[in-house]
Amino acid sequence: MPPRLSGSTASGEGRPLALEDLAPGAESPGADLHASEPSVPQPAGAGAPDSSVVPVGLATPGRVGVPSALAQASPSSPAVPGTATVASGPLTVQIGLYVLDVAHLDMKESSFFADFYIWYKWRERPGSEWNPANIEFMNGTIELATPLATDTFGEVRYASQRIKGRFRGRFDLRSYPFDRQRLPIVIEDSSMPASKLVFEADPNNTRIGRWIEAGVQVPDWKVAGARVYTDQHVYDTDFGDSYTSSDTKTLYHRFNFEIRLERLFVPHLIKFIIPLLVIAGMAYLVFWINAREFEAQCGICVTALLTAVALHISQADALPAVGYLVVSDKIFIVFYIFIFSALAQTVVANNYAKRGRIRSAMALDAFFQWAYPLGLLFFCVLAMAF
């Protein structure tokens, strides 16, 4: 864990950093790095952002290749006496996180609060200066950030700080309430494009326990792990810098950290499934009532149908407005159809009874006594599968 410092210089807490931590060829867990793209100049005037203002945005990351080994940052030719050695390829910065807390997960607003330590390790290179203060969190708003704590180990630089803020995710609710979600934290440098800077995960953090605190809990969810990967984001713009570049696209490397969550089944079993089964059971009782008792049968079916609608509305209020049906919507639709079929059956059976066709009314009741539960179960499974 990074030293918990409030100043700008580390006091040396924690495990000392060795040069082999940044050894060439070290692979980062979950990294997705490929071949390099040509340099695209950053627009004039771009520089380190105000530390109190963090741009917010979330875009679908592009998948353009970049190099992944620190070896590419080594000199491509022997040094000339009396001159500085110029390294080839982009500078590689290793990033690690340690999540302390996740709270206020709001599915309707697609946001969550995260509290974590973050650290950076990179090898000093002549002519390639990097400042960790230029880091942007592309999908969040930082509410509190401690000053950067820095240290140097030979040619290796180290910086860390604690971050608290709200972040946004793109939650896919099609499987609700049996869904799994990912809470993303997206990091990008504001001044150096992908041709000059690439990220990779800290190779010392290879286990989930070294990314997330063991006691982290999210109400109604189970923390199922974490994923770390890097990619490039393509900005289809030159940011107005048409004077120094004719390119209309700009590439920036990104570091992506995701916390994986699985929704707990028991809370929704109690709040969603059991009440719905009770409502369907109310409608099922009409098949065991005498066909002449139309008022009682009709009252039960109407009550069950209205209760199902009220339960559906209360559940939908907790979800954002999406342009597709979630699994719970499909299940409610199935229950609406079968409860209405029970109401329609009571009308037909009552007409049979009034006309003296008692056997036909009893046969219709007998058919629905087994067809109703079996059909309800079959179509609910079908709704969850598709």
What number is the average pLDDT over the span 326-335?
A: 94
Average pLDDT over residues 40-58: 37
State how far the alpha carbon of 33 is from the alpha carbons of 92, 125, 130, 200, 252, in Å: 12, 21, 20, 8, 13
Residue identified by tokens 């639709």 is: 333
pLDDT at 60 over 90: no
| Structure tokens, 281 | 């059971």
Q: What is the structure's pLDDT at 198?
A: 94
Residues 216-234: tens digit of each pLDDT: 999 889 999 899 999 999 9
pLDDT at residue 13 greater than cutoff 70: no
> Which regions of the chain carry the CATH code 1.20.58.390?
266-385
Question: Is the confidence at residue 67, as pLDDT, over 70?
Answer: no
Write b or e for each residue in 144-177: b if 16 or more Cβ atoms lie within 10 A of its Cβ, otherwise e: ebeebbbbeeeebbbbbbbbebbbbbebebeebb
Please report the pLDDT score of residue 272 as a whole number. 87
pLDDT per position as a tens digit, 83-139: 344 557 899 999 999 999 999 999 988 999 999 999 999 998 877 789 999 999 999
pLDDT at 380: 92
Q: Where does the pLDDT of residue 263 fall: very low under 50, low under 70, confident under 90, or very high at 90 and above?
A: very high
Q: What is the pLDDT of residue 214?
A: 87
Hey, what are 20's tokens? 């082999």
Instruction: Give the residue among 23, 190, 205 at the shortest CA–CA distance from 96.
Output: 205
Neighbours of 301 (CB within 10 A): 23
Q: Which residues contact 141 (CB under 8 A, 6 or more apart)?
A: 54, 56, 165, 166, 167
d(CA 80, CA 198): 27
Contact 182, 8 (CB under 8 A): no
Least Cα distance to 8 among 139, 151, 108 occurs for: 151
Identify which has the larger pLDDT, 312 or 40: 312
pLDDT number for residue 242: 66
Looking at residue 82, its pLDDT comes to 39
Give me the pLDDT at residue 6, please: 34
266-385 adopts what CATH topology? Methane Monooxygenase Hydroxylase; Chain G, domain 1 (1.20.58)
Are the C-beta atoms of 339 and 280 separated by less than 8 Å?
yes
Helices and strands in the chain: count of H runs, count of E runs: 5, 10
CA distance 163 to 376: 50
The CATH 2.70.170.10 domain(s) of the chain lie at 19-263
Q: What is the pLDDT of residue 313?
A: 93
Query: What is the CATH number that goes with domain 19-263?
Result: 2.70.170.10
- Residue 305 backbone dihedrals phi, psi, to 5 degrees: -65, -45
pLDDT band at 197 (very low <50, low <70, confident <90, very high): very high
Cis peptide before 177 (omega within 30 of 0): yes
52's CB contacts (< 8 A; 6+ apart) are none
Do 37 and 232 form a contact (C-beta atoms < 8 A)?
yes
Residue 27 predicted with pLDDT over 60: no
CA atoms within 13 A on the CB side of 101: 9
Average pLDDT over residues 154-160: 91
Residue reference for tokens 């340690």: 98
Per DSSP, the three-state class of 22 is: helix
Separation of alpha carbons 107 and 180, rounded Å: 12
Mean of pLDDT over the chain: 78
The CA-atom distances, in angstroms, between 128 and each of 90, 93, 196 are: 9, 12, 8
Q: Where are the alpha helices (DSSP H) in 224-357?
A: 265-268, 274-284, 294-316, 327-354
Burial string for 26-61 (b: 16+ CB within 10 Å, else e) reads bebbbbbbeebbeebbbeeeeeeeeeeebebeeeeb
CA distance 131 to 27: 23
pLDDT at 206 over 80: no
Higher per-residue pLDDT: 249 or 47 = 249
